Structure 1
Amino acid sequence: MSATNVLGNTLRTSKSVVQKALASSAPSSEMLRFRSPVLQTNTQKLARYGGRHNVTVLPGDGIGPEMIHHVERILTAVQAPIDFELVNLTSKEDAAEDLEEAITAIKRNGVALKGNIETKFDNPVFVSRNMELRRQLNLYANVLHCATIPTIPSRHTGIDMVIIRENTEGEYSGNEHETCASPAPRVVESLKVITREKCEQITRFAFQFAKKHGRRKVTAVHKANIQKLGDGLFLKIATDIAKSEYPDIEYNAMIVDNASMQLVSRPQQFDVMLMPNLYGNIISNIACGLVGGPGLVSGMNIGDDYAVFETGTRNTGTSLAGKDLANPTAFIRASVDMLRFLGLQSHADIISDSLFRSLVDKRIHTPDIGGTHKSSELVASVIEFIDKELEHRNFQV
């Protein structure tokens, strides 16, 4: 058979898969589970002009700029009423003015979509741009939805958990100093700050999230057996609020080391996991690994006034930049989360379902999940499904 005939047969097969997938009368339960739930806070500060939403975009380092380009193509294909305001905030040490510009732009628009910005761990005076954004905008809740996806290699099935972590204090407060520095650093004090206000804020957020989205259980993760005052305060507040304000939602608490073991041995037991900042960072990465890796999961940073959407794990993917090999799934899902926050549910559903069909029905997998496809091929498939869906709807979203 000639190469032309092979290519023709491949294209016909691809189109038949698309038509078959779109012919289904309703989304499958797995497709619905793939749709990440989003809790809206205050939407009064969202910038809308002529029925369109202004969104601050921070491409960041590594694969961020090319992933943002893919997302922009997909949002254009689905006819989302979104206009991007680009701010090139990176890890360059002289980017202080860019950080202020980014914060001003997010305050002006209310919402941002960002790639990760590298934090230089070998420079003790370098201020993390990611932390400063969360702190200055009071993005106190970080939310990850981790669910197993059919056809994606994983040791477990049936995972559908939401991880909610406090996002602005704890070990991430950034209060460190040397108490004995001569002739070389010998004693360093790093302060973990836990406040009643933030504990109450993140606990109520978690239970409100669970209640709105029909989640049955909240598990508070802590280390109060050792950090009796710091984590003890977090645990007491979570337990008191659970009993007094949300008695209809099942609640339990688990020490972080046991939670880590339980997570990798029987993750299906978890529904909503609530925890302080550092534990949340570690648990989130474990959970992303359980469902297939960092390229699959999006992350939400939500406060009372603003929201920033990004990938679930905060790595830049620098080694993959420019190679058309990085998995764009996490960035696409971040844009879907953003659309839901903006109230554009129909646009969000079309993109999410098109991505699911590309991953599951057409099995377009990038190398990180055992496939051989390129980033651009997955994006092209998503757009193909979007075009067919819009055609089916007579271009009405």
Structure 2
Amino acid sequence: MELNIALLKGDGIGPEIVDSAVAVLEKTAAKFGHKFNFTPYLIGGCAIDETGLPLPQETVDGCLASDSVLLGAVGGPKWDGLAGDIRPEKALLGIRSAMGLYTNLRPAKLYPALRGASPLKDEIVGGGFDILIVRELTGGIYFGDRGYREGKYGTEAFDTEAYSVTEIERIGKAAFEAAMKRGKRLCSVDKANVLESSRLWRKTMHEMAESYPEVEYRDMFVDNAAMQLVRDPKQFDVIVTSNMFGDILSDEASQITGSIGMLASASLGASKRGLYEPIHGSAPDIAGTNAANPIATILSGAMMLRYSFGLAKEADTIEAAVDKALNDGHRTADLMGTDKGKPLTCTEMTEVILKNI
């Protein structure tokens, strides 16, 4: 199989971690007889420096012409003074919109080998947990009407939460189908006791649940879900929720795994083409020091093989290589915790994983 992959290395540690993921993907391709063609494009601050825009049209066209896209990270203090519409982070919304990506998949997995890194007590996390958060990505309050108006107490700002049945159904379908491939348990998170948009969300999800009788379905208010994630994360298999709630809950879930440097993500739409990226930022404080943890980006590459290309065995191989590296005691600086010894560099951790493939 020959596939074309667009690379958006971006800013900060982005180039380092993307290079690590490319090395792992290339070795995996060679092992299974595939050919991956990688083409880099500019995005974020580096794109602003070179073109004046955070998302040049050439980048959009290149991503749309590719089979899938691997992203590093964007942004940094160098560009903090720019206006909101030309900040590096604006490129993320732009590329998601251009690619028609409305489903965000964020796994939150606590590896048994890293149990000590979790802030949760041992009796809570036990042998680890494995949660998939399915977040709606292009609707809700982040994309609703907004502005200023005169209110009861003078000038006020407003943002509008709105969802259509179609938007709910398509994210619901992604969540139910993900649950069918995992533990067949789905929790839909909303705020139906207060929000009208959540009441439509819940009604639509209930109707969809009838088509998936094998899935154990339940509803949960978002405030309770936030509490339950730290009280008993093992109760969850797949969580589906709106854009804003998913943004908050997925970051909470990332922290209880022990390190944000371990977590991958996938953004998908109606086609097989997706955008794959680690959920951490550009970490400008360690950029260029070879101290970054490449695992989240490497696992994002594995998600690409699984979800966009249907290469499950290849994805399993990469994930097993990461598992072995951790079980053998290899750690980057962010994973050290109270362990003594010298942490591995980004390059060294990548080399360990490559040897395990």
Please name the residue that 1:188 is paired with: 157
Q: 1:118 aligns with which of 75, 78, 83?
A: 75
Question: What is the distance in 1 between the residues matched to 2:100 and 2:80?
Answer: 23
Aligned to 1:309: 276
User: Does structure 2 retain, via aligned residues, the 8 Å contact 1:222–1:276?
Assistant: yes
Aligned equivalents of 2:354 and 2:173: distance in 1?
38
- Alignment match of 1:300 (pick from 255, 266, 280): 266
Partner of 1:219: 187
| 1:378 corresponds to | 349
User: 1:151 is paired with a residue of what secondary structure?
Assistant: helix
Conservation of the 8 A alpha-carbon contact between 2:129 and 2:233: yes
Once the two structures are superposed, residues 313-334 of structure 1 have per-residue CA deviations (whole angstroms, 9 ceiling, x without a partner) of 2522221211111111100000
Aligned to 1:335: 301
Residue 261 of structure 2 contacts residue 280 of structure 2 at CA under 8 Å; is this kept in 1?
no
Which residue of structure 1 lines up, in the alignment, with residue 148 of structure 2?
Answer: 178
User: Contact 1:89 / 1:102 at 8 angstroms: preserved in 2?
Assistant: yes
Is 1:52 the counterpart of 2:6? The answer is no
Q: Secondary structure at the match of 1:320?
A: coil
Q: In structure 1, what is the equivalent of residue 63 of structure 2?
A: 106
Within the candidate set 26, 30, 34, 1:76 is matched to: 26
Q: Which residue of 2 aligns with 1:8?
A: none
Quote the residue 2:40 is aligned against.
Answer: 86
Distance in 2, Cα, partners of 1:351 & 1:95? 37
Inter-partner Cα distance in structure 2 for 1:220 and 1:382: 36
1:336-376 C-alpha deviation (Å, 9 max, x unpaired):
11122313333322222112111112x11111112622111
Return the alpha-carbon distance in structure 1 between the equivalents of residues 238 and 313 of structure 2.
Answer: 25
State whether structure 2 residue 248 is matched by structure 1 residue 320: no
Preserved contact between residue 55 and residue 91 of structure 2 (Cα < 8 Å)? no
- Mapped partners of 1:333, 1:163: distance in 2: 16
Q: Which runs of 5 or more residues in structure 2 are unaligned? A: none
| Equivalent residue runs for 1:355-370 within 5 Å | 355-361=322-328, 363-370=329-336
2:135 to 165, 175, 179: 165
Residues 346 and 271 (structure 1), Cα distance of their counterparts in 2 relative to 1, 3 Å cut: closer
What is the number of residues matched between the two proteins? Answer: 328
Q: 1:95 to 1:240 in 2, by over 3 A?
A: farther
Quote the offset at 1:186 in angstroms. 4.1
- Structure 1 or 2, whichever has the larger Rg, is 1
- Name the CA distance, whole Å, in 2 between partners of 1:114 and 1:97: 14
1:262 maps onto 2:214 in alignment: no
TM-score (norm 2): 0.86
The alignment's C-alpha RMSD in Å is: 2.2
Q: Which amino acid aligns with 1:129?
A: A
C-alpha distance in 2 between matches for 1:327 and 1:314: 10
- The aligned residue for residue 212 of structure 2 is 246
Compared CA separation, residues 174 and 104, structure 1 to 2 (3 A): farther
| Counterpart Cα distance in 1 of 2:318 and 2:13 | 21
SS at match of 1:327: coil
Aligned to 1:319, the other structure's residue is in SS state coil
Shift of 1:146: 1.7
Asked if residue 146 in structure 1 is aligned to residue 108 in structure 2, the reply is: yes
Task: For 2:270 and 2:315, locate their aligned partners in 1 and report how far apart those are by CA, in whole Å.
Answer: 22
Unaligned runs of 5+ in 1: 1-50, 387-397
- 1:195: Cα distance to partner? 1.5
> Within 1, Cα distance between the matches of 2:75 and 2:201?
30
Q: Deviations over 1:72-125 (max 9, x none)?
A: 222233325211111011135555484322221122113100112239787443
- Report the alpha carbon displacement of residue 264 of structure 1 after superposing the two structures with TM: 0.4
Paired position in structure 2 for 1:4: none
CA distance in 2, matches of 1:175, 1:116: 28
The DSSP-based 3-state class of the residue aligned with 1:57 is: strand
Q: For residue 3 of structure 1, what is the aligned residue in structure 2?
A: none
Q: Distance in 2 between matches of 1:373 and 1:291?
A: 20
SS at match of 2:356: helix
Quote the Cα distance in structure 2 between the aligned partners of 1:195 and 1:136: 20
- TM-score, normalization by structure 1: 0.77
- Identity, % of aligned pairs? 27
In structure 2, distance between residues paired with 1:98 and 1:125: 11
Contact 2:55 2:95 in 1 (8 A): no
Alignment partner of 1:345 is 2:296? no
**C-alpha displacement of 1:136:** 2.4
Name which of 170, 173, 182 aligns with 1:201: 170
